[in-house]
Amino acid sequence: MDPTNFDSTSSACTFLQGYNELESLERPLFSSQDEGDDYERAHGVAPPQSHRPAGGRPGGASFSTVGLPTQVDEIRELTVLAKDAAGIMWEMVAMNESGPAAAEMQANAQQLQAQLRGLIGDYQGGDEKLFNEALEALDMLNSCFFD
């Protein structure tokens, strides 16, 4: 449309509507709500909430260890998992199961075995009961693979 052509009222109105659209260019196309919806659609979960860790400053590093498991916690959790995995492995052997589920369980048990072996090798704590339980769980996993 020619901007110098104002013969009809309708063409002038149409031309002026183009200027009204310029105001909308200054508004954001997406709100923060839309961005969250896009994240949720793409990932299937709500977007992570930004937060400032305890003791942290904006833009600065935080030296807080909140939420990080200790070596004792890791050994305790891996010991429980290793005992459960050994029990499942023995059940699978007893039922003569094979296939993708058995192969996946064996791979997971081997990974668990390696993690537990590493934690036992690095353990410097004084809790002998925990250390013995971890060794027992490792032995249970080892016996699954050798029998």
User: Which residue would you say has higher pLDDT here, 33 or 95?
Assistant: 95
Read off the pLDDT of residues 97-143 as tens digits, 9 standing for 90 and up. 888 988 999 999 999 999 999 999 888 877 889 999 999 999 999 99
pLDDT in tens, 14-70: 555 555 665 655 655 555 555 556 666 666 666 666 554 555 455 555 556 678 888
Are 54 and 62 in contact by the 8 Å Cβ rule? The answer is: yes
Instruction: Indicate yes or no: pTM above 0.75.
Output: no
Query: Is 134 exposed, middle or buried (CB count within 10 Å of its CB: 0-12, 13-18, 19+)?
Result: buried
Q: How far apart are CA 73 and CA 79, in angstroms?
A: 10
- Output Rg (C-alpha) for the chain, integer angstroms: 31
Q: What does each C-alpha distance from 33 to 24, 30, 48, 58 come to in angstroms?
A: 18, 8, 13, 23
